[in-house]
Structure 1
């Protein structure tokens, strides 16, 4: 008969110190290994099939715009005489004669335009310019908006009041009017700058209208980013780690750069990603109106603008850039939404 055990006894039970059995050890196994914030965000992003499909489309667009032109036999400004307004996979009389003579002629997969220029390489160049505009403009917006919003949110008070009223004034300025005014006022200074510095030839190739678009984004389109970062900084500056940094004698600039902005990195990435399609759409819209790149350079908007005149007879010239604009903008928007869901801790799932 088992001896009676007094539950109020102060004596230790020797059985409690016996080695654990295998079944008891299995209960202590960690079901999920520890992870970092970035690994967890990447895991949730990869589980988002729509965002990953959009990411694949973005990668394909980048390869199509920046890598494929190196292997394509035609140039974006090459005019092939006798090959004007060729339909997709159609050859001109001169090319057919060369084929019959045994020569190899690379096909025009999307046809040619009114000047006999191959549409595929023109589409590559248009996608490249549009992506460059979107990326450069978003980086400018990210830099200016982050610095401005961080300063406004950190100091608060009168500084925040004045800075936010400046944002309200800038937000009310019409961007189209600003772009037109910049194009008129900056034409002569930029021309002199390009002549004095030949190393800026790549920027000169884009033309004064594109430079004015970049400046407009720098002057006007950072306001949304500044408001978002301001709200994040105002919430973070009340945390204990900021108080500890003040107690250790850290300067305000160090607290902003080393502590506050790094804690906003996920918001910065998402907002900058969503700014890219906005910049691409703005550039395409302006180029469609004739305020973008100048011939022989091409963007997706200028390609659509050139094709609108012969839309009924040469529909294929409009379909290709229109589809490209739609795919690129939709992919960046979907990927940005996927990043936002991945970085948002409130949407964290136990998978």
Structure 2
């Protein structure tokens, strides 16, 4: 229908319904992804975090799998092989090589007792990793439950529970570890003599007391983080709906609140692992770690100080492994935080 060019009358032909093909050409939809899939996609794009993950996996293989196939044991003492330099053989081993026998080299040399140093560093790294992971799991369980209960109930319950946290912050952890080690020394020795509990003697009272202190004192940071998350989440509509339907408080906390904090919990736990490893290495350096002959990275570094001028590699090897482990877990935790924290999404 023609109309005057100066008229403001609209043309009817301009409002014809679009065809199906025209609608599809204008439809631009993003692929629907869930929380975990989106977080994993963002994490895999982070090259630094992926590199840290690969390094962590290599360290796990080095500390947990390689010692099973290594020709030497961490407690094995070889007469005449004391304080060998890296890739050096003792006189007895050199005679065996001259006789045509195959002798595996000491990659990092040996210590003052004739024990291969490479296997001791690997086993020491295993001990530190196990302490860090177990301590972080203890902190995760205790801290998340405590913080969730405090944040959900609020009021006087939250006030009392948070004041307890403030008191725990003031407790000197090293002093508690020393006191517990002395108290638990004889009971643990008696328990270790019982069949099936021999592993307790290998750990020693210092390590058991360290785990107890981790469970008693080190969860307060996790509790505060979870409490702040729960206090925000409990105001959401789905929590109100669960209450209206008669859901029990235990179910609301476990199924609705803590579940929605899982991203924060994973990130916080990952960042807690290097902190626990550093604490264990520091205490082992002071002589409050595992019981000899079980090695730890901190105890190896402490023992290497005596001959540092003559054998500096004995200190650099455990110190470098501590550095790599802590740096890798920190970078991995930063990558997980960037991937799973909704506030950081662009």
TM, length-normalised to structure 2: 0.95
For 2:206, what is the secondary structure of its paired residue?
helix
**What residue is the counterpart of 2:16 in the other structure?**
16
Q: Distance in 1 between matches of 2:197 and 2:317?
A: 31
Q: Given that residues 188 and 205 in structure 2 are in contact (C-alpha distance below 8 angstroms), is that contact kept between their aligned partners in structure 1?
A: yes
CA distance in 1, matches of 2:256, 2:34: 18
Deviations 1:212-244 (A, max 9, x none): 100010000000001111111111111111100
Displacement after TM superposition at 1:47 (Å):
1.6
Deviation of 1:319 after TM superposition, in Å, equals: 0.7
Q: Give matches, 1:127-276, under 5 Å.
A: 127-196=125-194, 198-276=195-273
Moved over 6 A (4+): 5-9, 12-15
CA deviation after TM superposition for structure 1 residue 194, in Å: 2.4
- Name the structure 2 match of 1:109: 107
What residue number does 1:336 align with?
A: 333
Count of residues paired in the alignment: 344
Q: How many angstroms does 1:195 deviate by?
A: 2.6
Matched, 1:25 2:24: yes
Query: How far apart are residue 15 of structure 1 and its match?
Result: 7.8
Structure 1 pair 191–8 and aligned structure 2 pair: CA distance change class (3 A):
farther
| Distance across 2 between alignment mates of 1:88 and 1:109 | 5
Question: 1:249 offset after TM fit, Å?
Answer: 0.2
| Equivalent residue, structure 1, for 2:289 | 292
Q: Kindly report the root-mean-square deviation, in angstroms, between the aligned alpha carbons of the 2 structures.
A: 2.0
User: How many angstroms does 1:94 deviate by?
Assistant: 0.8
Q: CA deviation at 1:200?
A: 2.6
Q: Distance in 2 between matches of 1:84 and 1:147?
A: 51
Secondary structure of the 1:309 match is coil
Deviation (angstroms), 1:14: 11
Match of 1:311 in 2: 308
Task: Compute the TM-score of the two structures, normalised by the length of structure 1.
Answer: 0.93
Q: Which runs of 5+ in 1 are unaligned?
A: none
Evaluate the alpha carbon distance shift between residue 18 and residue 280 of structure 1 in structure 2; reply closer, same or farther with a 3 A threshold: closer
Query: Over residues 116-157 of structure 1, what are the superposed CA-to-partner deviations in whole Å (9 max), with x where a residue is unaligned?
Result: 111111011000000000000000000110111111111011
